[in-house]
Structure 1
Amino acid sequence: MVLGGSITALFAASILSKSYREVVLVDRDKLIGVTEWRKGAPQTRHINGLLARGHLALEEMFPGITEEMIIGGVPLSDLSGTVRWYFNGKRLKQVRSGLTCVAATRPIMEYHVRRRVEALPNVTFKEHYDIVGLVATPDHSRVIGARIQSNTDGTGEEILHADLVIDATGRGSRTPVWLNSLGYGPIEELGTKVGLGYASRHYKLDPASDPFGTDHSINPVASPTLPRGAIFTKTDNGKVELTIYGILGDHPPTDPAGFNAFAKTLAAPEIYEAIVNSEPLDDPALYRFPTTMWRRYDKLTRWPEGYLVMGDAVCTPNPVYAQAQTLASLEALALGRHLEDGTPPDPLAFQRDVATIIKPAWEMTTAIDLSFPGVKGRRTWLLRLQHAYMRRLQDAATRDSSITGAFMRTAGLVDPPEALMRPGLIWRVLRSSKAKPAPVKPVRQKSLVR
């Protein structure tokens, strides 16, 4: 049984279907046939993306799905070739690198993956069911199912038994509470307060104002001197999608005039020039993300058999870096490896593998978050050295496209962060960058829209 109807849940169900006679996926929402955002998943109104490594994992789980989505009107993008990146206010030099990813809106991505999972003969969906709690053996050594309740017909609780239960319910997961009630824990939780807020809107682009050219996306990244950023991308069915964001409470307004004014302060002026002449398809929607979170289940020494936790229920990194879906896809592939010998997965061994997948991405993005002076956290001399090197690297990438390619291979989780420290790359960075890159002139406070 998979708890939740998220993309993580769908990945898990597809993997489980190869090893179990029956897989049941339980969620509070209607799922089948849905192509719009879901009330139970408010982030589906905003840009979500698979990084390059996640795209490879997606194709491994669902061969041919990329072509299906392209036929269905989803653009294909190259992370360093057709994405226009701005770091510290300056545009990186682009290069085609084969770091492909599909630019689907979250509902459309889920729809295509869900169709594949629906087609599996041993997978069923229980829609419109709230998950009330776990069911365990009397000694609490094994989870044997879950208590669920319909949220449409007023019927009472029912117990659904299962040999294996997976929590894929996202950041709001009740696993810490459930484990505590069974006598497990406490759970160590890490996090960084980033005070992020992002607002999204969709448009029908005016051809006369099209800023993309041969690119698919324009992404000015927030920096310490201008802690605002955006992702402006072509997406499915001829729409363009804009998410603008600010950290430490500097959130974009949701009234159209305020939204546009916020967009006007971005490091990529072509975004504002495009949206003011295009037709909005909806109103801006805001999502607040106060803190990153990593629940360290891998550090427990005791764990009930028959129970696993995946995806955002374990870790929700800063969504600006678009890592969550990719981490979930890699965790699903790890689940498949744990099932290869035909025996139930060892829960603690699996949670430790999940932590191994999360750790490099978490450390990389936490380091970036701590480059903002207002974000609280410990900055060691090594971290300060990393920040200085990254400023040099990003400056060098404005002149040397091979550095952009290497940078995006790491950002896309294809290469580990250590790849950016290879001697040959360090030499190119030092050769191509300025010793002290000129800082971006900060936007004056009085011009910022609160």
Structure 2
Amino acid sequence: MSVTYDDIVNAQKIQDNVIRKTSLTFSDTFTQLTGSTVYLKNEFEQKTGSFKLRGAYYKIKTLSEEERKNGVVAASAGNHAQGVAFASMIEKINCTIVMPKNASPAKVAATRGYGATVILEGKNYDESWVEAQNIAMKTGATIVHAFDDPQIIAAQGVIGLEIIEQLPDVDEIYVPIGGGGLAAGVLTAVKDKNPNVKIIGVESKSFPSMKNSLDSGKIETIGGGFTIADGISVRTPGKHTFEIIKDKIDEIVLVDDEEIIKTMFLLMERSKSVVEPAGAAGLAYLVSKKPSPGKKVVPILCGGNIDMYLLGQIVAKGLATMGRMVKIFILLKDKPGALKEVVDELALLSANIVEVVHDRLSSNVRAGTTGVTLSLETEDQKHMDKLIQHLKEKNIDFKVLT
């Protein structure tokens, strides 16, 4: 089953007051950082915090009366689960979501909060998907696939229609790719309207399943590594999505976690936007590689659902990556005033002490000495380098931890 431009237009008509037309905002910060003219498509503003609601709502809205009686079932560890649960609540039909046993408790709670029956089954998405299929066979429930469904693809493609309407002279669109539903929909919408718009898919270096599949000419299943961008950590692309992307995509590029972390940090600090790792992937490629100087570009920030514990790590690691935070270990004589001498040197260079930890018991701390770990806030990488050089010149015994 193919997906056409008309299918996407029809999906746009069936949005009611549920689906939001998300904003497209010019970013002076990212324009300066990348050399491109950057407009952010803020899909994290969507209800449930992700573009996934678009496809879930359209699929459920178009079910027959018989299908509605049997309800729906889906497998997901995050955004799709919440989208299907919310859409089912709006349409007042039964909904079962199968989630991996290691799914985030916050995401499980959010899914249940929308009224879904949540079943924790399997160690990963693939095992949860098998259980969802079993439930569908036993109950007659309709499966709402996360990406490989023509109606899902059509509804995600409405984002492409919105971008063309909001910025008719866009040159390039950067789309995160996991299973490929978002990219397939945007490609179908935009290429039909203006084939000159370049569309670049962005995958995690740990999960390049679509790129590998395009390179080999057939669908490939990859082993996969680790990435914080769980929203695009898909081992096998969809059949429908693969065919569309194979025919229409201009390029697929890869980003790593460090590039994503830096971009998430910048989004929070400069744009006051909390965007999840997968949602920041497209912008991360622009920031790190600066591939399109002078072009009008739109990275789709496709989701904003992030675990609060991970968010704290992102802030800390983002500060370190930007040269704004450094942690050092100093070995001092265990006597009054020893630490003050170091603190005075730090004060000369206006380094702010964020945390101090004393250690007299570890095996690497000799008797008569104390180990002190200092977390220091600096202005930027240049300031940090100057600080480290100053400590070396003062013959202070230290090592940089992060």
Report if TM-score (shorter chain) is over 0.5: no
More helix by share: 2
The alignment's TM-score, normalised by the length of structure 1, stands at 0.28
Higher relative contact order (CA 8 A, sep 6+): 1
Q: Which protein is bigger by CA-based radius of gyration?
A: 2
| TM-score, L = length of structure 2 | 0.30
